[in-house]
C-alpha cells in the first residue's frame, strides 16, 4: 500500500533530469523543471517513507521482465524506509541548490549533469527497494555509473578525470565482490534475492563467505578504510551538490547493504562483529586524522566522511556483537545509534558540502589558506557552516551528539560492569569487555580530533581576516543556494532538541534488524535520558543566544569605536600574519606523525638577505598514495619490460612462431 | 529543596574563591602577603562594569564564544555531583554529555580566538584543541575504570558512595586515577606546569593567550567560566581522593567545601614548586596521565 508513492517518487527522481533535457538549451527553464520534478519526487517519496516508518507494514511489487533469472521485485519495510528518507530529501535539496550553483547559463555540463544526477538519485531509491538480486545489481550499477558521470562533470580538468577513473575502478571491484556474494547466497538458499536465509542451508564457512564478500562489496561503496581509496578524490572534485549526494546519501547505500546482509544472516559469529568494530574504529581515527592534514576544504570534508562511516561501522559491529551474544540492550542501542547517525550524517555533511560549494562559488578557491573572514561577507553561509561544524563535531545542542551518545551508551552497557562484586562482566562475548572499553576511548579520541578538524575549518575559512583578494570580494550566496542549507540546518537543530521523537521513529527498523527484543529493550526506560539531553540542549541553545544579545547590549558593543586587533601592540598587522590552517594543524599533526607521515618540501631561509623561502606540506593518503599507486607503477614497469618483445618487424614475429612451434614439438 | 539550593549556591558562588586561594598560596610560598582571597570576585565585578572594545576584524562569534563556553560549562555542571550529593540531572551515560558539553565550550573559545585574526591567539587555539585530544582519552579511561568499580554509568554513581569500595578493594587503581585526573585537571584548566595564568603574550601558552583581545564583561565571563571549569575538575578529583560521607547534610557540605579549598591550595603548591614545562614536553605529561588512568583500568580487568 505504501509502495506506489515510493515508486512514483523514485521514478520522478530518475526521470527528472531526462525530462529536463527537453527544455531549450538556453535559458533557465531546464534547471527549474529539473528542480521542480526533483522536489516533487522528494516530497512524495519522503512522506511515503516516513509513513512506512510510522505505520509499519511491508509492501511488495513484482513485475516480470525478460532478463534471465531476475524479475523486478520491489519491497519496502522499515529498514528500507530508514534509508529511503535521505535518498529522497538530500538530492531534492541539492537540485534546488544547483539552480543557482550549476546553472545551464554558466556551465556547459549542466544539462548532462542534471540527467546523471537525477538517475543517481532514482537508482539509489531502487537499490534500497530492490529485493531481487539481479535487479539489485542492475540498480547498483546504474547508481555507480551515473555517479561516475556526475563526478566527471568537469572532465576538462585532469584531476577530475583521475578521480573519476579511480572511482570507476574501485566501485567495480566492489560490484565484483557483490556478484560473488549473490552466487553464495544462491548456493545457500537456491534463490537470487535479499530474503532472510535459513539456518539449514547455511554452513559456517558459507555464512562467513557471504559476510566477508558483503563487507568488501559494500565497504568499498561506504568508504570503510582501507577500501576508501576512491572517496577523497571523488568528493573533492565533483560539483558540490553532487558531493553532498555522494557523501550524504550514496555512502549510506554501502551501510544499507551491510545492514541488509546482517539482517539476512540468521546467526552471527562474534568475530564478524569484532572485525567490523575494529575496521570502524580504524576508519574513524585515521579518517579524522587525515582530515586534519588536508589543505583543501572539500577534501577535508571527504576524509571526515570516512570518519563518520567509521563511527557507523563501529556501531554496526557493536550491534552484530549484541546479536551474537543475545544482548538486546547492546543491539538495540547500537542499531538506533547507527540509523540515527545515517540520518544525521546525511543532514550535516550535505549541509557542509553545500556550504563548501557556496564558498567555492564566491571565492573560486578550494584552498583554506587563501580564505578567511567570510563571516563578514557571507553571514548566512557562515552561520550555516557553524551549525554544520558543531553538529559534525557531535556537540550537544545538535543532532550529531544524539547518535554518538546512543552508540556510546550501547558500548558502555558492556564496557562498564556490575561493580567490583558483580559477576556478569564477561557474558557471551568471550568476556572481552576491554574491547568495548577500547571502542569507547576511540570514540572519545575521534570526538576530540573532530573538534580540531572543524574548529580549524570554520576558523580559517570564516573567521579572522581574508588571506587573499578572493576572500574580501566574496558575496553572499543567492537564496536558492541558502534555502536548502537552512532546511538541513533546521533539521540538525530539531533532532538535537527532540532526540526522543527521532529515535522513536526508528523503533520498527531496530526491531527488524536486531530482533523484537532489542526494540523492546529500547522502550524500557533506556531512552529516557534522551529527554534530559533534549532539555539541556534547549537550555544551552536558548541561554547562549539570549546571553549573547544581553552581552552585546550590556558591554556597549554597538557604541564603542572599532580599533584593530590588539596583537600585542604590533602596529601594522597583516592578514598573512594570522595563524593559518597549516599552522593550526601543525601542532596536531606533530602528535600524529606516525600515522600521517606528512611529506614536506622546504626552501630554507639562507643568507643575510634571503630571497625566497617556502614550505609545502602534504599528507598523502595512506592506502592510495602509499600502497596502491606505487604497486600499480611497479606492475606497469614490469609489464612495460615485455614491450621489448614487440618490435613491429614481421621477421621477428616469424621467429617467435618458429620458436613456439619448436618448443611445442619438443614438449609433445 | 534545601540541598538543591545549596548545590546551586556553592556551584555558582564558590569557583572564584578557588582562584583566590591559589593566589594566596602562591603568595605565601613567595614570602608575600598577597591579594585578599576575595580579590577574584572584585575583579569580576570591576570587569562587568567596564565597556568592551571590539576589534574590527571580529564578527558575532567573538561575543558568542565566551557566552557559549560559559553556558555549556554551567550546563555540564548540572550533571556533576558535589561531594556526596547527587547531581540535579543524572542518567546513565551522562558523563558523555558532560565531556561533549565541555568540547562545545572549547570549540567556541577557539572560534572566538581565531575571530580576532591575531597570530598569538591562533597559536593558543592550536594548542588548546590539540592537547584536549590527549586529555579526553585519559578522562574516559578514568571514568571507565570508575564504572567498573562502582557498577554505575552516571556521574552521580561513578563519584557516589561506592568510591569507598574502590579504595578498599582496588587502592592502587584509585591512586592512579586520582593522580591521572589531577594532571588532566591542571592541563584542562591551563595551570602550571602546562600553562602559566599569570604571564602574558606568547609566553602564556594556551588559555590566556586566546583571550587577549576580550575586554570588559566578555573577559569577565571568560574568567568566571574558567573558574567554574576548574571547580568542576576539582570536584571530581576531590570526590575521588576524599569520598567522605557522614550522613549529615551540613557536615557533608562543609567537608566538600573544605576539600575544595584544600584542592585549590594543592594547585597553588604545585604552581609554587614547579616551573612551566617546555611546550614540547606537554604531550608527554598528558600521555603519561592517560597511561596512568589506562593502567588503572587494566589492573581492574585483571582482577
Mean pLDDT of chain A: 88
A496 in Cβ contact with A397 (< 8 Å): yes
- B256: closest CA of chain A, how far (Å): 25
Any B CB within 8 A of A571 CB: no
pLDDT over 90 at B4, yes or no: no
Residue-level pLDDT at A431: 45
A116 in Cβ contact with A149 (< 8 Å): yes
Supply the Cα-derived Rg of chain A in whole angstroms: 27
By Cβ distance, the residue of B117, B202, B216 closest to A575 is: B117
pLDDT digits (tens, 9 = 90+) for A121-142: 999 999 999 998 888 999 999 9
- B200: closest CA of chain A, how far (Å): 9
3-state SS of A510-561?
A: HHHHHCHHHHHHHHHHHCCHHHHHHHHHHHHHHHHHHHHHHHHHHCCCCCCC
pLDDT over 60 at B191, yes or no: yes
Residue-level pLDDT at A402: 95
Higher local confidence (pLDDT), A198 or B220: B220
pLDDT digits (tens, 9 = 90+) for A619-643: 888 888 888 889 999 999 998 888 8
Residues of A with Cβ-Cβ distance to B110 under 8 angstroms: 451, 455, 459
Please state the ipTM of this predicted complex: 0.95
Distance in angstroms (rounded) separating the CA atoms of residues B271 and B201: 19
Minimal Cα distance from A442: which residue of B?
B137
B112 in Cβ contact with A463 (< 8 Å): no
Distance in angstroms (rounded) separating the CA atoms of residues A412 and A443: 12
Residues of B with Cβ-Cβ distance to A456 under 8 angstroms: 129
Minimal Cα distance from B120: which residue of A?
A567
pLDDT digits (tens, 9 = 90+) for A346-394: 999 999 999 999 999 999 889 988 898 899 999 999 999 999 999 999 9
Q: Torsion-angle region of residue A69: left (phi > 0), alpha (psi -120 to 50) or beta?
A: left
The residues, ordered by sequence, that sit 6+ positions from B78 with a Cβ below 8 Å of its Cβ are A536, B87, B88, B89
Residue-level pLDDT at A514: 84
Distance in angstroms (rounded) separating the CA atoms of residues A443 and A334: 13
Compute φ and ψ for A131, nearest 5 degrees. Answer: -115, -30
pLDDT over 70 at A559, yes or no: no
pLDDT over 90 at A659, yes or no: yes
B268 in Cβ contact with B24 (< 8 Å): yes
In 3D space, the residue among A359, A390, A389 whose CA is nearest the CA of residue A374 turns out to be A359
pLDDT level of residue B291 (50, 70, 90 thresholds): very high
Q: pTM, whole model, 2 decimals?
A: 0.94
pLDDT digits (tens, 9 = 90+) for A193-245: 888 888 777 788 899 999 999 999 999 999 998 899 999 999 999 999 999 99
CB pairs under 8 A between A and B: 282
pLDDT digits (tens, 9 = 90+) for B73-92: 999 999 999 877 888 999 98
Chain B interface test: which of A393, A417, A593 (most B C-beta within 10 Å): A417
In 3D space, the residue among A410, A289, A293, A284 whose CA is nearest the CA of residue A345 turns out to be A284
Distance in angstroms (rounded) separating the CA atoms of residues A454 and A448: 10
Distance in angstroms (rounded) separating the CA atoms of residues B127 and B137: 17
Lowest-confidence pick of A384-393, A524-533, A600-609? A600-609
Distance in angstroms (rounded) separating the CA atoms of residues A649 and A656: 11
Q: How many residues does chain A have?
A: 668
Q: Please, is A386 exposed, middle or buried when counting C-beta atoms within 10 Å of its C-beta (0-12, 13-18, 19+)?
A: buried
Supply the Cα-derived Rg of chain B in whole angstroms: 19
Q: Do A578 and B54 touch (CB under 8 A)?
A: no
pLDDT digits (tens, 9 = 90+) for B39-51: 999 999 999 988 8
Question: Average pLDDT, stretch B238-265?
Answer: 89
In 3D space, the residue among A107, A234, A100 whose CA is nearest the CA of residue A160 turns out to be A234
- Give CA separation, A308 vs A129, A225, A345, A429, in Å: 24, 11, 7, 25
HSE (side-chain half, CA atoms, 13 Å) at A442: 27
Question: Average pLDDT, stretch B45-64?
Answer: 89
pLDDT over 70 at A314, yes or no: yes
Q: Do A464 and B127 touch (CB under 8 A)?
A: no
Report for A293-302, A321-330, A427-436: range of highest mean pLDDT: A293-302
By Cβ distance, the residue of B119, B136, B147 closest to A444 is: B136
- Give CA separation, A458 vs A300, A381, A581, in Å: 12, 11, 10
Residues of A with Cβ-Cβ distance to B54 under 8 angstroms: 557, 560, 562
HSE (side-chain half, CA atoms, 13 Å) at A460: 31
pLDDT level of residue A557 (50, 70, 90 thresholds): low
Compute φ and ψ for A327, nearest 5 degrees. Answer: -110, 95
Percentage of residues of chain B with pLDDT beyond 70: 98
Minimal Cα distance from B92: which residue of A?
A529
Percentage of residues of chain B with pLDDT beyond 90: 53
Any B CB within 8 A of A577 CB: yes
In 3D space, the residue among B8, B41, B48 whose CA is nearest the CA of residue B23 turns out to be B41
Q: Which residues face A132 on adjacent strands?
A: A193
pLDDT level of residue A421 (50, 70, 90 thresholds): very low
pLDDT over 60 at A455, yes or no: yes
Residues of B with Cβ-Cβ distance to A449 under 8 angstroms: 133
User: End-to-end alpha-carbon separation of chain A, Å?
Assistant: 69
The residues, ordered by sequence, that sit 6+ positions from A634 with a Cβ below 8 Å of its Cβ are none
Residue-level pLDDT at A345: 96
Minimal Cα distance from A472: which residue of B?
B57
Minimal Cα distance from B101: which residue of A?
A396
Amino acid at each position: 500500500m505504501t509502495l506506489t508513492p515510493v515508486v512514483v517518487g523514485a521514478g520522478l527522481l530518475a526521470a527528472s533530469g531526462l525530462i529536463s533535457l527537453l527544455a531549450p538549451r538556453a535559458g533557465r527553464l531546464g534547471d527549474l523543471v529539473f528542480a521542480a520534478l526533483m522536489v516533487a519526487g522528494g516530497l512524495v517519496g519522503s512522506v511515503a517513507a516516513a509513513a512506512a516508518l510510522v505505520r509499519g507494514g511491508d509492501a511488495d511489487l513484482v513485475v516480470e521482465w525478460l532478463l534471465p533469472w531476475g524479475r523486478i521485485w520491489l519491497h519496502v519495510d522499515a529498514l528500507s524506509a530508514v534509508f529511503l528518507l535521505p535518498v529522497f530529501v538530500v538530492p531534492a535539496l541539492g537540485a534546488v541548490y544547483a539552480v543557482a550553483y550549476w546553472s545551464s547559463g554558466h556551465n556547459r555540463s549542466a544539462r548532462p549533469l542534471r540527467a546523471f544526477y537525477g538517475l543517481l538519485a532514482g537508482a539509489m531509491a531502487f537499490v534500497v527497494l530492490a529485493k531481487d538480486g539481479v535487479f539489485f545489481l542492475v540498480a547498483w550499477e546504474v547508481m555507480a555509473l551515473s555517479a561516475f558521470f556526475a563526478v566527471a562533470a568537469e572532465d576538462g580538468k585532469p584531476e577530475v578525470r583521475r578521480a573519476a577513473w579511480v572511482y570507476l575502478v574501485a566501485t567495480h571491484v566492489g560490484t565484483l565482490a557483490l556478484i560473488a556474494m549473490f552466487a553464495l547466497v544462491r548456493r545457500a538458499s537456491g534463490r537470487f534475492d535479499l530474503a532472510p536465509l535459513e539456518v539449514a542451508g547455511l554452513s559456517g564457512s558459507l555464512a562467513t563467505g557471504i559476510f566477508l564478500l558483503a563487507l568488501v562489496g559494500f565497504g568499498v561503496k561506504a568508504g570503510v578504510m582501507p577500501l576508501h581509496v576512491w572517496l577523497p578524490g571523488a568528493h573533492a572534485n565533483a560539483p558540490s551538490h553532487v558531493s553532498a549526494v555522494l557523501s550524504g546519501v550514496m555512502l549510506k547505500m554501502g551501510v544499507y547493504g551491510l545492514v541488509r546482509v546482517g539482517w539476512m544472516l540468521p546467526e552471527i559469529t562474534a568475530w564478524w562483529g569484532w572485525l567490523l568494530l575494529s575496521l570502524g574504529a580504524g576508519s574513524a581515527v585515521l579518517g579524522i586524522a587525515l582530515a586534519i592534514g588536508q589543505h583543501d576544504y572539500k577534501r577535508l570534508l571527504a576524509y571526515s566522511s570516512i570518519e563518520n562511516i567509521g563511527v557507523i561501522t563501529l556501531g554496526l559491529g557493536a550491534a552484530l556483537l549484541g546479536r551474537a551474544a543475545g544482548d538486546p540492550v547492546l543491539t538495540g542501542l547500537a542499531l538506533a545509534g547507527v540509523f540515527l547517525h545515517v540520518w544525521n550524517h546525511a543532514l550535516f555533511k550535505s549541509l557542509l558540502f553545500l556550504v563548501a560549494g557556496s564558498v567555492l562559488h564566491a571565492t573560486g578557491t578550494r584552498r583554506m589558506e587563501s580564505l578567511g573572514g567570510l563571516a563578514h561577507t557571507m553571514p548566512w553561509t557562515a552561520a550555516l557552516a557553524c551549525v554544520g561544524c558543531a553538529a559534525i563535531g557531535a556537540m550537544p545542542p545538535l543532532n550529531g551528539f544524539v547518535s554518538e551518545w546512543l552508540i556510546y551508551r550501547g558500548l558502555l552497557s558492556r564496557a562498564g560492569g556490575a561493580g567490583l562484586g558483580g559477576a556478569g562482566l564477561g557474558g557471551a562475548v568471550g568476556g572481552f569487555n576491554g574491547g568495548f572499553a577500547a571502542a569507547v576511548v576511540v570514540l572519545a579520541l575521534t570526538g576530540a580530533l573532530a573538534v580540531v578538524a572543524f574548529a580549524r575549518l570554520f576558523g580559517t575559512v570564516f573567521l579572522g581576516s581574508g588571506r587573499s583578494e578572493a576572500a574580501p570580494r566574496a558575496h553572499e550566496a543567492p537564496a536558492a543556494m541558502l534555502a536548502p542549507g537552512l532546511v538541513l540546518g533546521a533539521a540538525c537543530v530539531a533532532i538535537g532538541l527532540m532526540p526522543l521523537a527521532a529515535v522513536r521513529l526508528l523503533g520498527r527498523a531496530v526491531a527488524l534488524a536486531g530482533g523484537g527484543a532489542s526494540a523492546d529493550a529500547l522502550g524500557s526506560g533506556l531512552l529516557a535520558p534522551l529527554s534530559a539531553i533534549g532539555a539541556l540542549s534547549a537550555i544551552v541553545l536558548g541561554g547562549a543566544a539570549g546571553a549573547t544579545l544581553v552581552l552585546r547590549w550590556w558591554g556597549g558593543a554597538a557604541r564603542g569605536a572599532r580599533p584593530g586587533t590588539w596583537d600585542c601592540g604590533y602596529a601594522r598587522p597583516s592578514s598573512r600574519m594570522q595563524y593559518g590552517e597549516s599552522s593550526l594543524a601543525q601542532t596536531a599533526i606533530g602528535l600524529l606523525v606516525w600515522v600521517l607521515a606528512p611529506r614536506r618540501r622546504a626552501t630554507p631561509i639562507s643568507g643575510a638577505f634571503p630571497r625566497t623561502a617556502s614550505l609545502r606540506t602534504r599528507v598523502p593518503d595512506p592506502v592510495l598514495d602509499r600502497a596502491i599507486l606505487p604497486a600499480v607503477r611497479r606492475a606497469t614497469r614490469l609489464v612495460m619490460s615485455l614491450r621489448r618483445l614487440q618490435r613491429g618487424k614481421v621477421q621477428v614475429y616469424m621467429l617467435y612462431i618458429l620458436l613456439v612451434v619448436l618448443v611445442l614439438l619438443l614438449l609433445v | 529543596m534545601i540541598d538543591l539550593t545549596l548545590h546551586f549556591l556553592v556551584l555558582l558562588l564558590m569557583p572564584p574563591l578557588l582562584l583566590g586561594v591559589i593566589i594566596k598560596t602562591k603568595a605565601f610560598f613567595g614570602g608575600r602577603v598577597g591579594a585578599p582571597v576575595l580579590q577574584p570576585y572584585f575583579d569580576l565585578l570591576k570587569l562587568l562594569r567596564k565597556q568592551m572594545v571590539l576589534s574590527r576584524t571580529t564578527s558575532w562569534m567573538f561575543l558568542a564564544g565566551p557566552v557559549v563556553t560559559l553556558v555549556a560549562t554551567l550546563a555540564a555542571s548540572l550533571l556533576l555531583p558535589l561531594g556526596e550529593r547527587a547531581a540535579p540531572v543524572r542518567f546513565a551515560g551522562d558523563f558523555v554529555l558532560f565531556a561533549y558539553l565541555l568540547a562545545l565550550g572549547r570549540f567556541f573559545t577557539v572560534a572566538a580566538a581565531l575571530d580576532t585574526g591575531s597570530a598569538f591567539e591562533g597559536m593558543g587555539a592550536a594548542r588548546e584543541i590539540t592537547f584536549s585530544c590527549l586529555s579526553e582519552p585519559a578522562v574516559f579511561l578514568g571514568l571507565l575504570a570508575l564504572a567498573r568499580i562502582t557498577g554505575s554509568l552516571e556521574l552521580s554513581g561513578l563519584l557516589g558512595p561506592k568510591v569507598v569500595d574502590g579504595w578498599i578493594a582496588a587502592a592502587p587503581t584509585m591512586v592512579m586515577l586520582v593522580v591521572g585526573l589531577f594532571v588532566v585537571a591542571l592541563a584542562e584548566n591551563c595551570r602550571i606546569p602546562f600553562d602559566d595564568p599569570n604571564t602574558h603574550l606568547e609566553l602564556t601558552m594556551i588559555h590566556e593567550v586566546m583571550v587577549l583581545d576580550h575586554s570588559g564583561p566578555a573577559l569577565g565571563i571568560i574568567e568566571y567560566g574558567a573558574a567554574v571549569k576548574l571547580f568542576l575538575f576539582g570536584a571530581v578529583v576531590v570526590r575521588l581522593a576524599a569520598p567522605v560521607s557522614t550522613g549529615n547534610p551540613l557536615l557533608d557540605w562543609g567537608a566538600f567545601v573544605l576539600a575544595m579549598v584544600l584542592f585549590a591550595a594543592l594547585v597553588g603548591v604545585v604552581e609554587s614548586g614547579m616551573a612551566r614545562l617546555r611546550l614540547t614536553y606537554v604531550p608527554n605529561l598528558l600521555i603519561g596521565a592517560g597511561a596512568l588512568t589506562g593502567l588503572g583500568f587494566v589492573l581492574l580487568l585483571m582482577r
